[in-house]
Amino acid sequence: MDRRQFLKNSAIAGAMVAIPGASTFASSTDAQIDIFVDEPQGVISPNIYGQFTEHIGGVIYDGVWVGPESKIPNQYGIRTELIDKLRRIHVPVIRWPGGCFADSYDWMDGIGPAAKRPTRTNFWEVDPDAARLHEQGKQIFETNAFGTNEFMRFCQLTGAQPYLAVNLRSLPPLSFDRWVEYCNSPAGSTTLADMRAAAGFPQPFGARYWGVGNESWGCGGNFTPEEYASEFRRYTSWIPHYGVDLQLIGSGPNNDDVDWTHRAFQELFTGHVYDNPSFTGWSVHYYASNLSRGKTTDWIKGKGDALAFEAVDWYELMRQCNRIDQIIQDQWSVMGEYDTKHRIKLVVDEYGPWYREGTELDPTHIFGQQVTIRDALATALTLDTFNRNAEKVCMAANAQLVNNLNALFLAHQEHFIVTPNYFVFEMYASHQGGQNLRTLFSAPEVSYVRDGNQAQFWGLNGSASRKDKVVTLTVVNPDLARPMETQIALHGATITRAAGTVLANSDMHAHNTFDQPNAVKPASLPVSVSGGLTAVRFPAASVNKLEISLA
C-alpha cells in the first residue's frame, strides 16, 4: 500500500503508526518526513530558480527599466532595488525578450545609440488584455530603449546568466547567427564585436542559453510539430560557437501536449537523425489558469480571480499547479523513446498561476496581477516538484519577474515591493546546486468540499537537498485550517541542530501592497531536536524551510 494511502486510512493523529523502513511516530504526531541522506537523486540545477522577463505591459518598462535619467535609484537605467533583491536570491538565469514578443522582435532594433533606435509596434498591441490601453489613448509601442546591451548589463549586475529567446517566426536563421555573433564574437574580431565594444562592452557576453522560437505551436508561428522540427534543424545546425558551450532549447509543448513532443522528436530522431550535442533542452509552458473545476475549457472563462476567491479555489489552484509533476513524467517518458540517453532535459521556462485581469496595479501592466499567500504556496510546491525531478528538469523560468502573472515584485514609478513569491525564492535558494535526496512525506490528506463532493489533496509535500553538512528541507502545508505536528527523521546521518523559517498568514488572501508592503513576510519557525529526531509544527497554509546541520 502506498504510504499516503496508508496514512489516509489510519486515524493518524494521536495514534502510534509504524511504517516499514522509517522511524516510529511519536504519539502526538500528525505527520512524518523521512529523509534518506545517502540516497542522492541528482543535483538540483541552480537554473531551476530562473526568472522570465518579456517586453509586455509593465515588465521591462516600469518594472526593470526606469532609464538612466530617472530620479528612481538606478544603475545604468535599471532599478537598483530590483538588482539588490535579485542578488539576494541568487537569481541564476533570466529569460528575455519573450514570450510571444520574441517572435516579432528584431534584436538589431535594440542596439546602437538609444536615440537612434527605432520605435515599433509591440506584439501585445493586438491582445484583448491590451484593449483598455487603446481605449485610454495609450497605444502600445516599443521604444527599444532596453535592448541586448541593457539586458546583458541587467544580467551582469544581478549575477544571472542570460537566456535569449530567438525569433523563429519572422526573422531568418542568419539573424540568429548574427545575434550570437554580436553577443559572443571576441573583442576586435567582427564588425558586430566592434559595435558591441562601441556600446561599452568590448568583452563578449558569453551567452550560452538560446531558446529557438517560443510557443511555436501558437504565437510563435502556429507550426505543426513536424514543421517546427524542420525549422529547428535549419536554425540550429550551424551556429557560430566562439568557444562557448551553447545550449539550444527547442520550443516544446503547451501543458502536457505529448503529441507535440512525440511528433517533433520523431521527426528529429528517426530516419535522418538530428545529432547536435548543443541541443540539450526542451521547453514546457504550463500555466495554472483553469480554476473552473472542470466546468469549462475556455481559456478566458476558466480563469479565477487573484484576490476574490474561496477555500475551494485555494485547493483548486494547488491541484492545478500540482499537475506539473505528471507533465514532467509524461514528457520525459516520450522524449526517452527517441532520445534514449536523455541528453535533452526539460526547461519549464514559463509557469505560474494566471488569473483574469482586474488586479493589475496600473492599467499599462498587461497580465499584471496581485500575488497572495496562495500563490506563494503554489510556487513553492512547483519548485519542490522541480527539485524532486532534478534529473529531468535542468532549467525553469517563473512567469514573470515583475508586474506580470506570478511576479516576485510589483513596481510602479517610485513604488516597489516584494510579493510573497519573493520570499519563496529567498527561502528555496539554498537548494541551488544541492543533491536532491529521496524523501518521504507521510501525512493525512486534506479533505474539502468540491461542488458538493468530498475532495482530497495531499497533506504535506516538499523536497530535501544536501550540500556538505547541511540538509535543506522545504515543506508546503496546503491545509487552510490544520497545522501539522511533524516528526522528521534523517536516515544515514545524525542531526546536530536545525533552524526553521516559515511563510504563512491566517488570511488566505493576504498580499503586499504599496501601502502595506510587509503584510506577508517570513518569520522564524520553532524547531526542536532531540534524540536524533526533529519535531516541527508546520502552521496551516504555510511554506516552510528547515536547515538541518549534520554531525
When the beta carbons of 98 and 225 are compared against ligand AHR, the nearer one is: 98
Options 78-86, 93-101, 130-138, 303-311: segment touching ligand AHR (CB under 6 A) = 93-101
Per CB under 6 A, contacts with ligand AHR among 407-466 are none
When the beta carbons of 37 and 399 are compared against ligand AHR, the nearer one is: 399
Contact 509, 541 (CB under 8 A): no
Total residues in contact with ligand AHR, by rule CB under 6 A: 11
* In the complex, least distance from residue 331 CB atom to ligand AHR, rounded to whole angstroms: 17
Options 94-102, 177-185, 265-273, 479-487: segment touching ligand AHR (CB under 6 A) = 94-102
Select which of 142, 150, 181, 215 is catalytic: 215
Q: Binding ligand AHR by CB under 6 A: which of 100, 108, 429, 488?
A: 100
Amino acid at 177: D
Options 14-22, 98-106, 197-205, 496-504: segment touching ligand AHR (CB under 6 A) = 98-106
Per CB under 6 A, contacts with ligand AHR among 207-226 are 214-215
When the beta carbons of 4 and 55 are compared against ligand AHR, the nearer one is: 55
Environment class of 104 (CB within 10 Å of its CB; exposed 0-12, middle 13-18, buried 19+): buried
Cα 337 to chain centroid, rounded: 26
CA torsion angle for 205, 211, 212, 217 (degrees, to 10)? -160
* In the complex, least distance from residue 401 CB atom to ligand AHR, rounded to whole angstroms: 11
Q: Which residue is nearest to ligand AHR (CB)?
A: 99
The secondary structure element, H or E, covering residue 192 is: helix 191-198
Contact 112, 192 (CB under 8 A): no
C-alpha cell at 108: 538589431
Among the listed residues 87, 19, 33, 23, the one whose alpha carbon sits nearest the alpha carbon of residue 472:
33
* In the complex, least distance from residue 287 CB atom to ligand AHR, rounded to whole angstroms: 7
Q: Binding ligand AHR by CB under 6 A: which of 97, 99, 204, 250?
A: 99
* In the complex, least distance from residue 323 CB atom to ligand AHR, rounded to whole angstroms: 17
Contact 22, 34 (CB under 8 A): yes
Among the listed residues 157, 89, 164, the one whose alpha carbon sits nearest the alpha carbon of residue 408:
89
Per CB under 6 A, contacts with ligand AHR among 377-416 are 399-400, 405
- The residues that bridge with 523 in the sheet, in sequence order, are 502
What is the rounded CA–CA span in Å between residue 254 and residue 247?
21
Q: Does 54 bind ligand AHR (CB under 6 A)?
A: yes
What is each CA distance from 360 to 197, 511, 540, in whole angstroms?
39, 13, 28
* In the complex, least distance from residue 119 CB atom to ligand AHR, rounded to whole angstroms: 21
Options 97-105, 263-271, 321-329, 334-342: segment touching ligand AHR (CB under 6 A) = 97-105
45: number of Cβ within 10 Å: 22
* In the complex, least distance from residue 284 CB atom to ligand AHR, rounded to whole angstroms: 12
When the beta carbons of 251 and 477 are compared against ligand AHR, the nearer one is: 251
Peptide bond into 97 cis (omega under 30): yes
Options 1-9, 96-104, 202-210, 303-311: segment touching ligand AHR (CB under 6 A) = 96-104
Q: Does 349 bind ligand AHR (CB under 6 A)?
A: no
What is the rounded CA–CA span in Å between residue 197 and residue 182?
10
* In the complex, least distance from residue 297 CB atom to ligand AHR, rounded to whole angstroms: 16
When the beta carbons of 63 and 434 are compared against ligand AHR, the nearer one is: 63
Q: Does 350 bind ligand AHR (CB under 6 A)?
A: yes
Sign of the alpha-carbon dihedral angle for 39, 41, 45, 46: negative
What is the rounded CA–CA span in Å between residue 479 and residue 459?
7
What is each CA distance from 218 to 104, 166, 215, 224, 517, in whole angstroms?
13, 15, 5, 10, 37
Amino acid at 259: D
When the beta carbons of 30 and 349 are compared against ligand AHR, the nearer one is: 349
CA torsion angle for 79, 355, 101, 71 (degrees, to 10)? -20
When the beta carbons of 36 and 287 are compared against ligand AHR, the nearer one is: 287
Rounded to the nearest 10 degrees, the angle between the axes of helix 191-198 and helix 173-184 is: 50
* In the complex, least distance from residue 315 CB atom to ligand AHR, rounded to whole angstroms: 25
Peptide bond into 352 cis (omega under 30): no
* In the complex, least distance from residue 285 CB atom to ligand AHR, rounded to whole angstroms: 6
Task: Decide if 547 is catalytic.
Answer: no
Sketch the per residue contact string, 4 through 43, with ligand AHR: x for CB under 6 A, - otherwise: ----------------------------------------
What is the rounded CA–CA span in Å between residue 354 and residue 306?
8
Task: Decide if 350 is catalytic.
Answer: yes
310: number of Cβ within 10 Å: 10
Options 8-16, 92-100, 239-247, 271-279: segment touching ligand AHR (CB under 6 A) = 92-100
C-alpha cell at 363: 492599467
Select which of 142, 350, 357, 426 is catalytic: 350
- In the block, which residue shows the cell 483598455? 132
CA torsion angle for 379, 329, 218, 364 (degrees, to 10)? 0
* In the complex, least distance from residue 447 CB atom to ligand AHR, rounded to whole angstroms: 34
Residues making contact with ligand AHR (CB under 6 A): 54, 98-100, 214-215, 350, 367, 399-400, 405
Supply the residues annotated as catalytic: 215, 350
